[in-house]
Structure 1
Amino acid sequence: MAPLTLADELVLLAYDDTGVNRLGRPNLDYGLAGAVLLELALASRVEVVDDRLVVTDPTPTGRRVLDDALAEVTADDKRRRPKDWIGRLAKGLPDRVLSGLVDEGVLRRESDRVLLVFPRTRYPSPTGAEPVAETAARQRMVDALLSDGPVEARTAALLGLTRAVGLDRKLFRELPKERLKTRATEIAAGDWASAATKKAIEETQAAVMVATTVATTAAIITTTS
């Protein structure tokens, strides 16, 4: 099996052991779009220049979801901000990432109907237990949060991403809130990536946070009005 991408790991962390999305939509959609951009930044394919996302290397990564996004950004004649790309890349992304994990055997797809009427699709693991890859991703993040030393770039990026979509509060309930907040801030400020890469990641994480906040606010207004 090919190494998992940040988008793969985010999906696994977002879905509970019964195969239900606990992050909600469109938060997951925006989070995955951010994960794709973060992965491209870590792979030195994109940077942020004058607040606009630019392609610095159009060479394919060999991962379909990443390369489709890279090709789309490369083909666009207009330089756009990271937050503009979040909405564009989010469309249909969860289904594509989930399908990839199903093809790899990490998850399985189950379709049924709630109350015999409403269609539902779940994505539990084949064993019914937490996938090994999810456990590994979670442990990497916990180790980083409990340590005081430097953090590997992909782990730091994943931590920032889970924080941006509000998933950290669900994942790390056993950790003291102050420790979680303080350490996450330290990691975000740490020297774990090149300046150009880190800027792209920070801009992307901020864009994801804005998108999810707007979506949540809109949902609350719709529900209460």
Structure 2
Amino acid sequence: MAPLTLAHELALLGYDDAGVNQLGRPTLDYGLAGALLLELTLAGRVEVADDRLVVTDPTPVGQRQLDDALTRIATEPKRHKPKDWISRLAKDLPEQVLDGLVTAGVLRRDSDKVLWVFPRTRYPSTTGAEPAVETQARQRMVAAVAADGPVDGRTAALIGLARAVGLDRKLFAELPKEHVKRRLTEIAAGDWASAATRKAIEEIQAVILITTTTAVTTTIITTTS
């Protein structure tokens, strides 16, 4: 299969082996939208200038969701902040990313009804066990956090993304907490990308955290009111 994007890897990490979304919505939605922006930033296609997301290279990346996002940003007459683009790109994105994993044979789509009334769709592994590509992503992240020294850009971005949506506590649960805290700070400040790229990525990750936290808080308040 084609190489996984950060959005594919986040989707796999966000779903359990039974094919259930552990992150909930809209956390997964915003996380995946942020993953697209991180990927485009690492690819040198976009950057943040004056708090606005701008296209620096409109050349297609060669992956549907990434190229669709790049086109939307490039053709938008007005420049918007990263948080605005995360909200715009999030719509229907989980289904698109999961469809890609189903087409690639990594996951399968199971649809049924709860109590014969409420529709439900799950995305378990086609093998019944954790997909190999998900295991590889987990191992790559854990190895980076457990060790010292430099980390490649994609792994650093995925670690920051996982942290932004709250997956870090589970992913690194077997490592000493103080080490994880120190190491995450080191990785975020590392020299795995240019200063401009790292700054853009840090801003996007911060937006994901703020956006998901605000959305979840709003949902709780609305539900309990």
- State the TM-score, normalizing by the size of structure 2: 0.98
Q: Quick one: which amino acid aligns to residue 68 of structure 2? A: D
Provide, for residues 144-169 of structure 1, a one-character-per-residue CA deviation record: whole Å limited to 9, x for no partner: 00111100000000000010111111
Matched, 1:149 2:134: no
SS at match of 1:12: helix
Q: Quick one: which amino acid aligns to residue 162 of structure 1? A: A
Provide, for residues 117-169 of structure 1, a one-character-per-residue CA deviation record: whole Å limited to 9, x for no partner: 11100000111100000000000000000111100000000000010111111
SS at match of 1:185: helix
Identity %: 73
Check whether the contact 1:53–1:80 (CA below 8 A) recurs between aligned residues. yes
**Unmatched 5+ residue regions in structure 2?**
none
Q: C-alpha separation between the residues in 2 aligned to 1:177 and 1:112?
A: 40
Q: Quick one: which amino acid aligns to residue 141 of structure 1? A: M
What residue in structure 1 maps to residue 66 of structure 2?
66
Provide, for residues 15-51 of structure 1, a one-character-per-residue CA deviation record: whole Å limited to 9, x for no partner: 0000000011000000000000000000000011111
Matches within 5 A, 1:203-218: 203-218=203-218
What residue in structure 2 maps to residue 180 of structure 1?
180
Provide, for residues 44-97 of structure 1, a one-character-per-residue CA deviation record: whole Å limited to 9, x for no partner: 000111111100000001100000000000010111111111100000100000
- State the TM-score, normalizing by the size of structure 1: 0.98
Q: Quick one: which amino acid aligns to residue 49 of structure 2? A: V
**Unmatched 5+ residue regions in structure 1?**
none
Which moves more between the two structures, 211-220 or 142-151? Answer: 211-220
Q: Quick one: which amino acid aligns to residue 32 of structure 2? A: L
Which moves more between the two structures, 193-202 or 170-179? Answer: 170-179
Q: Quick one: which amino acid aligns to residue 35 of structure 1? A: A
- Over the aligned positions, Cα root-mean-square deviation in angstroms equals 0.8
Check whether the contact 2:142–2:171 (CA below 8 A) recurs between aligned residues. no
